[in-house]
Amino acid sequence: MKFRFYIFFVLAVISNINAQDNAVTFEAVLTKKSLGINENLRVDFKMNKDGDNFTPPSFKGFTVVGGPNQSVSNMWVNGKRTFSKTYSYFLSPIKKGSLTIGQATIEIENNIYKTLPVKISVSESVTVSKDPNDPSYVVNENLHLVAEISNSSPYLNEGISVVYKLYYSPQINVTNVGEIETPEFENFWSQNIKIPRLQIERGSFKGDNYNFVTWKKTVLYPQKSGKLEILPLSLDVSVDVPTNRRDFFGNRIYNQVSKKVTAGKRSINVKALPINAPESFNGAVGKFEIKLNTNKTELNASESLQATVKISGNGNLKLFSPPSIQVPSSLEKYDPEYNEKVSTSLAGMKGFISNTYTLVPQFQGKYPINSVEFTFFNPQLNKYESINSDEIIINVLEGPMSLDESNTNIPNTETTKNILPSLNQFKFIKTESDFVKINSKPFIYSISFYSILIFPILLILILLIFFKSKNISSSKLKESKSRRANKLAKKYLSDARKNLDNKDVFYIALEKALHNFLKSKFSIETFDYSKEKIYNLLLRKEIEKESLELFIKLIENCEFARFTPASNVAINNDYENAVQVITEIDKVI
């Protein structure tokens, strides 16, 4: 009897040991539970069996500055398997006091497991240790973010560049970098210069050799004089710091440290332009040239020609308009067509802008297009410069004669038509009739009578057939245009998503996507593309007011994007809002 009891006892112990070995564990492990508000901590969510559908806590009261980083360990020791899987996060507290890291969940073998909440005590800022063996101290001494400004005292509307460089000592390894605070350029016109690929370069920082990476390049044009501030750029950097310990194979063991670095605020002293500006000055700052040319100098009356005013050079090309031309009143002048080809580098904007006018002469004669004056401020010479284009003579060979020959010297400052009357203008109208007497035979019941009687009926039938076929073809054409516009809307929305880091290209593509969406759903053409018409149309379609206002807001953002800065967060928000509002409107329709 006792022997059976001992056997039962041994089996129970063995069963308990196996049960413990097979038990699932899932826990939160912290590097510290008390820290200063200027410190970071690392939290690891560890499990001893592989799981799916991991859900982290909300980390309320913290900023996630790194992670999640996933690591898996699978070892066999004396025939026994040891498995471990870890999700790691680096956290930075945003307020003092007692904070709680909530529960994380994981699904293992069709069961849901949760970690226990962990309380953290956050105190005032603590003094950084100066122990050379302390990884945090090593990172502080060997990692720096610097903002290099090309000119800290520019003139109003003079271009400057800001280059952000991350310097780090060769004795540490940077493994991951994330932008957590994007600088704001209030009172500046700004454009980011795309960096195709981050490259490690060698340089010097405070007299020591460093590696550095150029993280961000931006060109700024101040829009206000006086002292302006550039808010800081902040990065979260994961760094591997070497320790004095080595592994089994003799390789040095590294500790990973997460560090928040910032370039700090920078002040710019913007000088106002001199007050003695000529009347022809319209805000151009830089070095420019002006050209006035036409596609023809000889033509007949009522034919058209194009006159182009072109401003080229280096400076704030996107922030002013070319000057207008003055022509005699006998030349009809239409609204100009604007064109630009401007590239932006660290040296600023370079290229040209132009206005092309369509001109139509009404009478014979020679008409001058007066020289165009253009004034700009040259920051290198600290003075205004005025330049003039050449005068062009237009020779009209054939056409009616003008009553007043002096009108060739009258400037036409209007952009609408301005036509002078002429005595010969109506010569083509006959003043005498060619009537002939009709025969004396009765008209009624004649062939002509029946022809006139039947002709309107036939004409009505022909017109009905014509308009019916036209409506069918118009309907097919409209349907084809709608399908094509729908494809273009999807294409431009895709282009916008691909250019989230390029503000100008993104907003051009987004505006085209919105336009083609409206065109495909409501047949709105370019000349009808006004916010008021769109608002009233969507209102009649019973679109929700929130979606309607969001759509109008997106159109306004696309219009203002050329003249105002936009952060990466704002661009991402505009893209997500565009996808959301297009989907909602499409569902309603």
Instruction: Print pLDDT tens along the chain (589 aa).
Output: 555 555 555 555 444 544 445 688 889 888 788 888 777 788 889 888 888 888 899 888 888 876 777 777 776 666 676 788 888 888 888 888 888 889 899 888 888 888 989 888 888 866 655 556 667 778 888 889 999 999 999 999 999 999 999 999 888 888 888 887 788 888 999 999 998 888 889 998 888 889 999 999 999 999 999 999 988 888 888 888 887 777 667 777 777 887 888 887 889 999 999 998 999 999 999 999 999 999 999 999 889 999 999 999 999 999 999 999 999 988 899 999 999 999 999 999 999 999 999 999 989 999 999 999 999 999 999 999 999 999 999 999 988 887 655 455 545 544 444 444 444 444 445 566 666 666 556 666 677 777 888 888 888 988 888 887 776 666 665 566 566 666 667 777 787 777 777 777 788 888 878 777 777 777 666 555 677 777 777 777 777 777 778 888 887 777 776 566 666 667 777 888 888 878 877 777 6
Same fold, 24-123 and 281-426: yes
pLDDT at 526: 54
Q: Which residues does 575 contact at the CB level (< 8 Å), separation at least 6?
A: 496, 497, 500, 506, 510
pTM above 0.75, yes or no: no
Q: Which fold has domain 281-426?
A: Immunoglobulin-like (2.60.40)
Q: Nearest-CA neighbor of 144 among 113, 168, 164?
A: 168
Report the helix count and the strand count for the chain, using DSSP H and E.
Answer: 7, 32
pLDDT at 377: 96
Beta bridge mates, 145: 166
pLDDT at 387: 94
Length of the chain as a residue count: 589
pLDDT at 166: 93
**Three state DSSP letters for 540-562:** HCCCCHHHHHHHHHHHHHHHHCC
Taking a C-beta distance cutoff of 8 angstroms, is the pair 171, 142 a contact? yes
Report which secondary-structure segment, H or E, holds 96: none
> Residue 449 and residue 458: Cα distance in Å, rounded?
15
DSSP per-residue string spanning 304-323: -EEEEEEEEEEE-GGGS-PP
Beta bridge mates, 536: none
pLDDT at 20: 47
271, two tokens = 């000088």
Beta bridge mates, 241: 255
> Residue 468 and residue 445: Cα distance in Å, rounded?
34
Angle at 473 between CA 467 and CA 476, to 5 degrees: 140
Helix (H, G, I), strand (E, B) or coil at 414: coil
Q: Which fold has domain 478-588?
A: Four Helix Bundle (Hemerythrin (Met), subunit A) (1.20.120)
What is the CATH architecture assignment of 135-270? Sandwich (2.60)
Residue 472 Cα distances to 463, 477, 482, angstroms:
14, 9, 15
> Residue 351 and residue 298: Cα distance in Å, rounded?
30
| Domain positions in the chain | 24-123, 135-270, 281-426, 478-588
Q: Nearest-CA neighbor of 34 among 74, 87, 93, 79?
A: 93
Burial 139-176 (b: 16+ CB within 10 A, else e): bbebbbbebebeeeebbbbbbbbbbbbbbbbeebebee
Radius of gyration of the chain (CA): 38
DSSP per-residue string spanning 487-551: HHHHHHHHHHHHTTT-HHHHHHHHHHHHHHHHHHHH---GGG--HHHHHHHHHHTT--HHHHHHH
> 24-123 domain in CATH 3.40.390.10?
no
Taking a C-beta distance cutoff of 8 angstroms, is the pair 543, 588 a contact? yes
Q: Which residues does 453 contact at the CB level (< 8 Å), separation at least 6?
A: none
